Amino acid sequence: MELVLHEGRFVVPDAITLEQLEECKREVCTHLPRGTKYEDFYPSLVLSYASGRRPGDCEGSGPGVVYAKGMSDFLHERGLQCFSGLQVPPGVDWETFMLRLTGENGKREKPKVLIVVLTAALYKSRPCLKEISTAIENKIALLPVRFEDKLPAKEDQWTNLDDQEWEMMKFRVQSKLNKLNNIPNPGTVLNRANALKDIMAQIDQYLPTPVDAPTPPTAAPAPPPPKSSGEPSDGTRFPLGSRVYVNRGHGEEVSGYVTTYDAAKDSYTVELGERGSGGAQEMCSDKDLRIADSPILDNRISRFINSARDKVGSLFWVNPLREGVPENAAASEQLPQGWGSVTDPTSGKTYYYKTATRETQWEFPTSAAGEKAASAAKPSLTGHNWNAAAEGTPQPLASPTKPPPQPPPLRFTLKERVECRDRGQSWQVGTVMSVEPLMVQPDGAAWTAGYRWDEVRVLSPEAVSKPTPQPPVAPLAMERESLTGKSPASEPTPAEMQSYCFGLCSESEEAYAKRMEKERAVAAARAEKALKDALDSGLTLKQLRAKGYIEGLKAVGITCAEAKTAGYTVEDVKRAGYTAREAKAAGYEIKSGYMCAEVKAAGLTSAEAKRAGYTLEEVQQAGYTAREAKTAGFEIRACYTCAEVKAAGLTCAEAKSAGYTLEEVKRANYVEGLKEAGFQLEAVMEAGYVLSEILRGGFTKADAANAGYAAAQLQIALKVAMAAGYACKDARAAGMLSTCKDAREAGFTCKDAKEAGFTCKDARAAGFTCKDAKEAGFTCKDAKAAGFTALKEAGFTCKDATEAGFTCKNAKEAGFTCKDAKEAGFTCKNAKEAGFTCWDAKAAGFTCKDAKEAGFTCKDAKAAWFTCKDAKEAGFDCWDARRAGFDCWDARRAGFTCEEARRAGFTCKDARAAGFTCKDAREAGFTCKDAKDAGMLWTCKDAKEAGFTCWDAKEAGFDCWDARRAGFTCKDAREAGMLSTCKEAREAGFTCKDAKEAGLLSTCKDAREAGFTCKDAKDADLLSTCKDARAAGFKAGRECYEAGFTYEEGRAAGNFDWDGGHLR
């Protein structure tokens, strides 16, 4: 659970939005005392912080804003006024913060304390560095309040500096700030409940007891103006329909129009924005409103300015005298010098006022009156109290109707051309660089920034008539041309006008730093050019020195030695930018011109600084460490505290040899090395060291026991020492523990025990687990030697076990899987010997071939879900596959042939079930009978197509008829023994020709006896004439006729059955 202290005032949200930031600033601005203006607010406490913006925070926000607001709230609740950057109005130059630290350059009282909010972001902020440095220069006490644990080391602080001036500020701040104790110490404000009490106690040392400030007197209210026709009947100040400004606090105002008035509540309803725009309605009291002090022009520029007013309040003011001209007859006449005119918002009439004395009158002034006013003119309002002067009640001239209202207060705009001076000085023409506070930069190259002046006034006619070099504010069209490159003929767009106007209203820290850097670069470039021109003109270096040329010497390539030869002093070469090392190399006595800090920044050692004549105090203030000073031969005790000696890395023995006493060593928090430094145990005890610190200081357990400490005290001290960061190694060396078990009981880890020199075997005997041993850094080999077996649970890998000498069987017993063994480099054979099954081997990623080579059988492979194809690829034959339980189908899918299946003992029926064909069966050696019995063939034709012979068909049970139908010839059938006579051939369906070709007959008579017809014999070419047929015994009648013989052939053969060509 997150610790929330101090009523949650320092709780930082995950991301700070713009609305939250604005609300934070508004609340802090309410801390100003009533009646006190921002420019007059110079409290005794000033707060410096860096916002530390995070990725999700809006511009200008961060945790530092929350811390600064929390501190401001806390101090305000206790009656203490505090100034911070949260109270600087938008658009005001950041230098106004510096005016609080300097008391406006001595014109006001300076603050007593600068509260520094210590965060990591502070050490990256250049403005914060300058604020703290300025406070140190003005001898303002620093109060560092720590809000974050992790702060950058000295060498990591403000690493973004780019010139010697900033480096000197850094040195000055580090030399002062780093020596102060932070509040709280130890811890931070966020985790210490009494932190705010400590802060108040520290502030009370610098400030007197706060008392309640008296309430400032209020000015008598001015009498209400006469009623107008549109005004409420009860005499309210703001008529219905009038344009007003609504005060939002700390200088922010928005414009609107009065729509209604509630007499019972004495409140007005104001429509924000333009009249009739449908803007938000806001209820306001009389004190929250003021009449708009100028007429409204109906043009784009005026509308934009009004819109800008609504958005940024009082940041963008327009001189009422320039915004419009009163609409009356007298306004067309030219006013005498020293007079101004404004329209009364309640009556609509024009009144006139003297710009010098602020007197008002209703009558149009005459020339004589103007001259009189000019002759009696007094100095104008000062830059820091013009608002206050304007609020005073003037003495208007008499009027027949009513006294005229007050003239408008002088308002100046950013970049407006004005005149300024300090009392007793002459007027200078310049440019307004900041509105609140009013800061003006005079014309001329000597002025590089805005300053506050005793008196600021509008330009006099004499100043207006003078030509102004490079006017700071061009007309909008001209300014647009300079920014965008466009022709001024076109009217600027609202976006361009808004970008320009809002760009004038604010300047970020980064922009300010860049501007100052640019100005310095321009000045350096100008000096370098002037020096180059002088050298080009033929002047010698001595003549240049006589003429006062200093800046730019180094830039143009003149060495420091050449400058010394020309007569330049050490102060001159320092001003020219030469480092102390360069000046020393040139032969200068650098001590007379360079500070010791500059010597250190130039890279000179403390020994060189000592030889140059710098004292120990100067060396210490320059930032040299105590070790560096001691190495240089200084007696460091004169300027360095023992704490600084310890921070520099010197041991306790070195501190003692430098002359520091035991009490100083104790205050510096030295603990280790007390005995080595030579301090006696009795003196150490008297100095306030507790037993745990004594043991950490190098004294043994026996020394403590001899000094009177009991065993129980030693055991408690051991635990306290461990809690304080005392190492197990030191405890063992001091004799505080002897066994690893003692270390474990004291709360030390196994890693501590290992660092103390205990073995893994000692750790096992002390009760540490194998996991503890591994986390401590012991190897698997150490664990094996110690007798640990639960290697896998400890986090060791099987590879570690292999390298430690474990066998695969040991690894299996230690809980490692076969996969672990494989990854460790063990073979499948090792895994089998270790007791892993073939299933384990397959799960580990071993192949079936690995399993076969390891000695697993095909049956093991099948049990491990290896396929028959895996088995075949592994080298198992079909016989192995059949014995393993694979069927013929598996064998066929694995790629085994039908012949291999037959040799493996599979039947032809198995082959048929596996999808082998009858041809496969014949080629495999199965008989036709096997194939027929297996159902692979049904007809003799199937057997013939499979390649079986007629003989095979006969053995399979097929007859001669089947053979003939299958396509076998009569000769095949005769050779197969299916027939022996011509008659059998005829009965089988063979033709006479088939029988002749088979050799079963040779004569026509054989054919007739076999039952063949005369036609069959003739087709078989056994006879050619009818006489041959008759000779063979065929009848000369129908048979000869059917055989195709003619009647004449029959008669010639003596066939008496042939009657006149007709069969009888």
> CA–CA separation, 172 vs 247, rounded Å?
44
**Among 721, 717, 720, which residue's Cα sits nearest to residue 709?**
717
> CA–CA separation, 200 vs 189, rounded Å?
13
> CA–CA separation, 794 vs 780, rounded Å?
10
> CA–CA separation, 941 vs 961, rounded Å?
11
Return the residue matching tokens 């409940």.
193
Please give the single-letter amino acid code of residue 325. V
- C-alpha 173 chain-centroid distance: 31
Write the pLDDT tens digit of every residue in 1033-1064. 887 677 787 888 877 777 777 755 555 444 44
**Structure tokens that stand for 9 in this block:** 């005032």
> CA–CA separation, 289 vs 953, rounded Å?
126
Confidence of residue 400 (pLDDT cuts 50, 70, 90): very low
Written as one string, the DSSP assignment of 980-1032 is -SHHHHHHTT--HHHHHHHTS--SHHHHHHTT--HHHHHHTTS--SHHHHHHT
What count of other Cβ atoms lies within 10 Å of the Cβ of residue 55? Answer: 5
Q: Give pLDDT, residue 361.
A: 81
Who's near 835: CB < 8 A, 6+ residues apart? 809, 812
> Max Cα separation, the chain?
186
For all residues of the chain together, what is the average pLDDT?
A: 78
Which stretch, 95-109, 437-451, 635-649, 1027-1041, has highest mean pLDDT? 635-649
Residue 474 DSSP label: -
Who's near 409: CB < 8 A, 6+ residues apart? 386, 387, 390, 391
**Structure tokens that stand for 1029 in this block:** 């047929």
Confidence of residue 193 (pLDDT cuts 50, 70, 90): confident
- Asked if 567 and 587 count as a contact pair (C-beta separation under 8 A), the reply is no
- Asked if 253 and 246 count as a contact pair (C-beta separation under 8 A), the reply is yes
Return the residue matching tokens 């958005």.
311
Return the residue matching tokens 């000769």.
971
| Domain spanning 6-204: CATH superfamily | Toll/interleukin-1 receptor homology (TIR) domain (3.40.50.10140)
Please give the single-letter amino acid code of residue 7. E
> CA–CA separation, 270 vs 691, rounded Å?
76
Give the mean model confidence (pLDDT) for residues 164-188.
87
Q: Give pLDDT, residue 77.
A: 86
Average the pLDDT over each of 116-125, 522-531, 566-575, 583-592 and give the range with the smallest value.
Answer: 522-531
Q: Give pLDDT, residue 53.
A: 92
Structural domain spans, the chain:
6-204, 243-452, 518-594, 1001-1064
**Among 232, 233, 209, 235, which residue's Cα sits nearest to residue 224?**
235
Q: What count of residues does the chain have? A: 1064
Q: Give pLDDT, residue 450.
A: 80
Q: Give pLDDT, residue 465.
A: 55
pLDDT at 759 over 60: yes
Q: Nearest 5 degrees, angle CA 782-CA 785-CA 786? A: 85
Please give the single-letter amino acid code of residue 127. P
pLDDT at 29 over 80: yes
Give the mean model confidence (pLDDT) for residues 262-276.
76
- Asked if 860 and 881 count as a contact pair (C-beta separation under 8 A), the reply is no
pLDDT at 301 over 70: no
pLDDT at 1031 over 70: yes
Give the mean model confidence (pLDDT) for residues 265-280.
74
Give the mean model confidence (pLDDT) for residues 240-262.
74
Q: Give pLDDT, residue 475.
A: 37
Q: Give pLDDT, residue 467.
A: 52
Nearest 10 degrees: Cα torsion 568, 571, 577, 581: 90
Coil, helix or strand at residue 158? coil
**Structure tokens that stand for 23 in this block:** 């609300």
Instruction: Tell me the torsion sign for CA atoms 445, 450, 452, 453.
Output: positive
Give the mean model confidence (pLDDT) for residues 922-930.
91
Confidence of residue 325 (pLDDT cuts 50, 70, 90): very low
Number of Cα atoms under 13 Å in the Cβ half of residue 973: 32
Give how far Cα 324 sits from Cα of 320, 331, 538, 879, 917, Å.
7, 11, 60, 115, 113
Give how far Cα 155 sits from Cα of 50, 123, 174, 178, 623, Å.
19, 11, 10, 12, 11
Give how far Cα 163 sits from Cα of 448, 594, 864, Å.
18, 16, 78
Confidence of residue 274 (pLDDT cuts 50, 70, 90): low
Helices 509-536 and 126-137 cross at an angle (nearest 10°) of: 80
Please give the single-letter amino acid code of residue 830. N
Q: Is the peptide bond before 396 cis (omega within 30 degrees of 0)?
A: no
> CA–CA separation, 161 vs 167, rounded Å?
7
What count of other Cβ atoms lies within 10 Å of the Cβ of residue 329? Answer: 9
Average the pLDDT over each of 8-22, 202-216, 449-463, 599-613 and give the range with the smallest value.
Answer: 202-216
